[in-house]
Structure 1
């Protein structure tokens, strides 16, 4: 079965980028054509750096072109915790990631349906509410004009059933992620980046001449610096530790037929994006053509039929109290870490990598790519101190087994919450 995303169905034709068959040299090689790599390459080129970006498929092929398009600032940790972990500068960086993305889109004039219309984090159990209120207050103390929504307000602004409360963050919003990825690729090329598609890197080594990235057919790219921006799509041949640093979990999504006028008046009438605070919750928004979209954690095995999406479709009916016609089903991988924290690593001289965006990758990866460019081109410190090692998850080869058991455990805990 072909799983075609709503994004692929509603984006203009993909820009044409050549594949690379000849050897060349550059200052910085970026491996990976998602948000992180495209943003890093763009900002490096704007700083006068000679950059090559290679993507094994097409720009936006991975999670960057298949996610829910929710632009959410911050990290999974609350601001006070971020202050203790990495300092106020890291907290300010995390809090500004959505603003960074929307400002970049406006500056470049990228047509990606960008709307900075807010995000609601919702709780459907009383036990959820104190933590949500504490998170909101911590961001309010840092100048964010967040507000609290009680059960009645939640029903009014979401059209959903069963939410007891939530907080609304005005910094957040939504984009068409595939349009954004392709727009960034075109902007990077216009800035001077040599962008190559369908160019997988089969090996990566370092010598006195710099880094050598091997390509199929024997060609190679030699560079002084490398940004490994392939996240959970990193082949073990490039950096085996990075490939084993996260659990590559599948996120399943569906989109409905266009909503009726009555449904549009009731469901997300102001256009905010929403995610649940449950351990295994859902996230939903309006998408192209006024369709309703919902996503959530799927099986670790790739789906083979529409039946694999039954759980997420049942969640859609549960949340909104009615059945919908489903027109699109798709999935993609996200990189998860046990502590829900990103891994930024400098394991070898001239090699910079990040993985484990834990569902916050849209705003975070664009902003981190910009910060990586400033680090390499201008010597500025990274907003989150990098590690000199790459922490590998034990028994990583068994992730489908223990990951699946973990999801079942968290679903049980969600069911027992009151």
Structure 2
């Protein structure tokens, strides 16, 4: 079987401008040159690929990571920097759909990030300030209160905040109530991805930047991968490309909705405003279908994200709708100044769960983290490493499913909006699927 990529035959793109790019610099790694053999090859140096590479290297293996651009180039280095727990649906629904292990795993994922940062002293501005799932109407508030009780039955720490308490925490009367998750945290995601890359290399992994995989071929019980600079014979592969899967596996690319999420950031806030807005360095996201999320970073900037242009964009004017909304929520921001704006492509699945796929020739693909990627992909790394080494996909707390293209997806971006609308209708018609 041969699969040709036409998307990644271009030269590696430079790191797009962002607040994170302005705060973190790193020399590029050399690309692959010549032919070589490798036991395990990981395609994609985002958090998922790097966490898996680190876990493999710490177990004594020597994985080879092939990255089309540079480590953390995709959504891993451009997201909102929130480290949240759980999956899209309530613990009871996740247990019904995926099993109780998936509940324990997903709610424990932020702790994996916290412990990894501490164990390896990763420089990424991590802080465990907790996080809010904030509701904007009475229905959402009742759902949040019910979910706190449900979390308690599963042994998951959570607290309900009524409207006055969440207003005190956020400096706005926008919310009717919220679930507070004490396990949540925040970090600079590009610093985090780059720190993971350095840790993986120190443990024995090899990472090649500017090395797009242009062709894959199953040979016997392994793979042959072609790149612009050489070929690799691999016994096992992991596709860790998520929203940037390109055409290496066309069906995989069509199995997710590649949604751009946009983030804008202010200049450091004055102390008076800073003290009224998430003073404990908590993170927050709203529980509406098209969510808004924000945090205060290590320098005291408001980092505010949500839906914006569905194409690459950068600069403070990248999403005027977001800056206007933030200034409506906190009028004191008007005239203060927005220093950065950027976006990146995350991947939504049709059921809002991450998907694990078995590939022919001893390979795995894991995609679709639906806006919860920082914690989930970090925690999945060691599980994927075990699955690759032992040839036991059941080591990953996700069912192995066929690769199924999402309806409308090939007609990007119009088809994505159609698909989003269809999934919103399905979500409204679905019973018993309370959201977190």
TM over 0.5: yes
Tell me the distance in 2 between the aligned counterparts of 1:234 and 1:385.
20
1:224 equivalent to 2:235? Answer yes
Alignment of 1:203-222 (within 5 A): 203-208=215-220, 210-217=222-229, 219-222=230-233
**2:409·2:419 contact (CA, 8 Å) conserved in 1?**
no
Q: Any idea what the Cα deviations from partners look like across 1:24-59, whole Å, max 9, x if unmatched?
A: 111100000000000001101111223101111110
Separation in 1, partners of 2:420, 2:249: 28
- How much is the aligned-residue C-alpha RMSD, in angstroms? 2.1
- Give distance in 1, aligned partners of 2:293 and 2:314: 23
Query: Would the aligned equivalents of 1:42 and 1:187 in 2 still touch at CA under 8 Å?
Result: yes
After the TM superposition, which residues 406-417 of structure 1 pair with which residues of structure 2 at under 5 Å, given as runs? none
Deviations along 1:171-228, one digit per CA (max 9) or x if unpaired, are 11001111110000000001100111111110111112621110114x2111110000
Which residue in the other structure is 1:270 paired with? Answer: 280
Give CA deviations for 1:50-70 in whole Å, capped at 9, x if unaligned.
310111111000011111110
Query: Does the C-alpha gap of structure 1 residues 397 and 326 become closer, same or farther in structure 2, counting only changes over 3 Å?
Result: same
Q: Find out whether 1:387 has 2:397 as its counterpart.
A: no
Alignment deviations for residues 87-138 of structure 1 (CA, whole Å, 9 cap, x no partner): 1111111111110111111111101111111010101111211221222222
Does 2:326 correspond to 1:313?
no
Q: CA deviation at 1:407?
A: 5.9
Within 5 A, what are the aligned runs for 1:294-305?
Answer: 294-303=304-313
Residue aligning to 2:337: 325
**Aligned runs of 1:395-414 on 2, under 5 Å?**
395-405=408-418
Determine the C-alpha separation between the residues in 1 that align with 2:74 and 2:40.
Answer: 22
Give the Å deviation of 1:142: 2.3
Distance 1:361 1:153 in 2: 28
Aligned positions of 1:145-294 closer than 5 A: 145-208=157-220, 210-217=222-229, 219-236=230-247, 238-294=248-304
**CA deviation after TM superposition for structure 1 residue 379, in Å:** 5.4
User: Structure 2 regions of 5+ residues with no counterpart?
Assistant: 1-14, 429-436
Q: 1:15–1:186: 8 Å Cα contact kept in structure 2?
A: no
Q: SS where residue 266 of structure 1 aligns?
A: coil
* Aligned partners of 2:77 and 2:189 also within 8 Å: yes
Alpha-carbon distance change, 406 to 92 in structure 1, aligned in 2, over 3 angstroms: same
3-state SS of paired residue (1:187): helix
Q: Where in structure 2 are the equivalents of 1:33-52 lying within 5 Å? A: 33-52=45-64
Q: Is the 8 A contact 2:355 2:401 kept in 1?
A: no
1:160, distance to aligned residue in structure 2 (A): 2.3
Aligned to 1:56: 68
Q: State the match for 2:23 in structure 1.
A: 10
TM-score, normalising length from structure 2? 0.89
CA change 1:348–1:154 in 2 (3 A) is same
Would the alpha carbon gap of residues 24 and 113 (structure 1) be closer, same or farther in structure 2, given more than 3 Å must change? Answer: same
Contact conserved, 2:17 with 2:314, CA < 8 A, in 1? no
For residue 76 of structure 1, the aligned residue among 66, 88, 98 is 88
Contact 1:15–1:182 (Cα < 8 Å) also in 2: no
Taking structure 1 as reference, are residues 304 and 67 closer, same or farther at Cα in structure 2, changes over 3 Å only? closer
Bigger CA drift: 327-336 or 368-377?
Answer: 368-377
Structure 1 length normalisation: TM-score?
0.93
- Residue-pair matches, total: 409
Match of 1:366 among 378, 385, 390: 378
Aligned counterparts of 1:278 and 1:388: Cα–Cα separation in 2: 28
SS at match of 1:295: strand
Decide whether aligned partners of structure 1 residues 364 and 214 sit closer, same or farther in structure 2, where only a CA change above 3 A counts. same
Q: Tell me, in whole angstroms, the C-alpha distance in 1 between the residues paired with 2:360 and 2:243.
A: 20
How far apart, CA to CA, are the structure 2 residues paired with 1:407 and 1:187? 38
Range that drifts further, 203-212 or 79-88:
203-212
The CA distance in 2 between the partners of 1:304 and 1:61, in whole Å, is: 14
Q: Is the 8 A contact 1:3 1:328 kept in 2?
A: no
**How far 1:22 sits from its partner (Å)?**
1.1
Q: 5+ unaligned residues in a row in structure 1: which ranges?
A: none
Provide the rounded CA distance (Å) in 2 between the counterparts of 1:16 and 1:326: 29
**SS of corresponding position for 1:268:** coil
